[in-house]
């Protein structure tokens, strides 16, 4: 009986799925049906690999919640057949997609690993092969018949991170992603090291529940010196806006000018959910640590703690799409649902 893990590759688009036509110099989409021929190293992996592609591969700049729902649905349909999933994706919005999928896939007990590359598969110095091979290897890792990784991860340049903790930090280096507030789940070197203490342990008794409704009536506003009342009022008065990620300074600080505090206070009293996240790459919001965040704390601004902006905006879409009551919204947001915050 075949006991090899079955892995499904889901190709959405992005550089990793492109090959260079050396005659014209242009890039064209890779035929994933010839994957094992093109990358014979995959035959050394002790697993069976199938693939499915979006009808039209997407540049990840065009990725949106409808596409997230499509990925989630492909996982849902194939969940009982496959032991792990590798999502091939452009790097630009990979952290958003990874964060969104972590919320959309409730009670996940199998690996969903996003990866991509900075250079196409056929390029001389490509990072695509290593990223792809190791992602599949990580998705196929099992112990006593159970997946070792049981969450949504993002693998890039020798490191597997929890996807909802990542941010793209570099457009040119192979090390394109960082997870400053949470350590890696695994690291690839001469040996593949898995840091089990960092991996989420889901309750295996619950069945997978897939949430496809994401409410996009959300916005992000970065506080900056010189932000004026007119800009702030216009953002807060966007028709149908339900939630706002407010990127503040340092540990969650904002100007203490009366007009600014009054605008935020009025918006909250009208039912707008405002989440305080830091615009720093790493670190956490600590509400009330300084005078400049005490007022925000008093007016019941939601504490984003050490969540990334990518995870904050997708968590808002998920909670709004799940019709969480206004009364419970702050409590739900401030609770770690998929290991996205401390």
As annotated, the active-site residues are: 15
Burial 173-208 (b: 16+ CB within 10 A, else e): ebebbbbebbebbbebeeeeebeeeebeebeeeeee
- Tokens linked to 233: 């009022």
User: In angstroms, what CA-CA distances link 150 with 143, 197, 302, 319?
Assistant: 12, 13, 29, 22
Neighbour tally for 73: CB within 10 Å: 13
250 burial (CB, 10 Å; 0-12 / 13-18 / 19+) is middle
Question: What is the Cα 146 distance to its own chain's centre?
Answer: 24
The residue count of the chain comes to: 342
| Cα-only R_g, the chain | 21
CB within 8 A of 178, min separation 6: which ones?
166, 167, 169, 281
Residue that the structure tokens 């989630």 belong to: 72
Say if residues 113 and 84 touch (Cβ distance below 8 Å): yes
* Dist. CA 118–CA 125, nearest whole Å: 10
Q: CB-side exposure of 136: number of CA atoms within 13 Å?
A: 27
């Amino acid at each position: 009986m075949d006991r090899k893990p079955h892995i499904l590759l889901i190709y959405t688009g992005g550089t990793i799925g492109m090959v260079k036509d050396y005659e014209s110099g242009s890039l064209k989409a890779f035929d994933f049906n010839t994957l094992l021929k093109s990358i014979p190293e995959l035959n050394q992996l002790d697993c069976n690999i199938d693939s499915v592609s979006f009808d039209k591969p997407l540049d990840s700049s065009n990725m949106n919640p409808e596409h997230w729902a499509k990925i989630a649905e492909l996982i849902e349909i194939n969940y009982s057949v496959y032991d792990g999933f590798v999502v091939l994706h452009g790097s630009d919005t990979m952290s958003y997609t990874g964060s969104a999928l972590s919320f959309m896939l409730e009670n996940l007990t199998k690996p969903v690993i996003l990866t991509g590359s900075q250079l196409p598969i056929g390029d001389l110095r490509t990072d695509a092969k290593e990223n792809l091979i190791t992602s599949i290897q990580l998705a196929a890792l099992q112990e006593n018949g159970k997946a070792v990784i049981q969450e949504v991860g993002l693998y890039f340049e020798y490191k597997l991170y929890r996807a909802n903790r990542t941010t793209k930090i570099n457009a040119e280096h192979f090390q394109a992603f960082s997870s400053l507030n949470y350590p890696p789940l695994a690291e690839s070197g001469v040996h593949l090291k898995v840091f089990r203490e960092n991996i989420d342990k889901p309750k295996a008794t619950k069945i997978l529940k897939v949430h496809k409704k994401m409410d996009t009536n959300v916005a992000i506003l970065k506080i900056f010196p010189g932000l004026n009342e007119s800009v702030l009022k216009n953002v807060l008065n966007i028709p149908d806006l339900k939630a706002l990620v407010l990127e503040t300074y340092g540990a969650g600080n904002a100007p203490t000018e009366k007009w600014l505090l009054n605008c935020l206070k009025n918006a909250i009293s009208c039912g707008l959910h405002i989440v305080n996240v830091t615009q720093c790459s790493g670190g956490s919001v600590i509400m009330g640590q300084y005078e400049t965040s005490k007022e925000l704390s008093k007016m019941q601004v939601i504490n984003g703690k050490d969540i990334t902006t990518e995870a904050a905006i997708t968590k808002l879409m998920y909670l709004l799409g799940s019709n969480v009551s206004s009364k419970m919204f702050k409590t739900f947001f401030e609770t770690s649902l998929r290991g996205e915050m401390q």
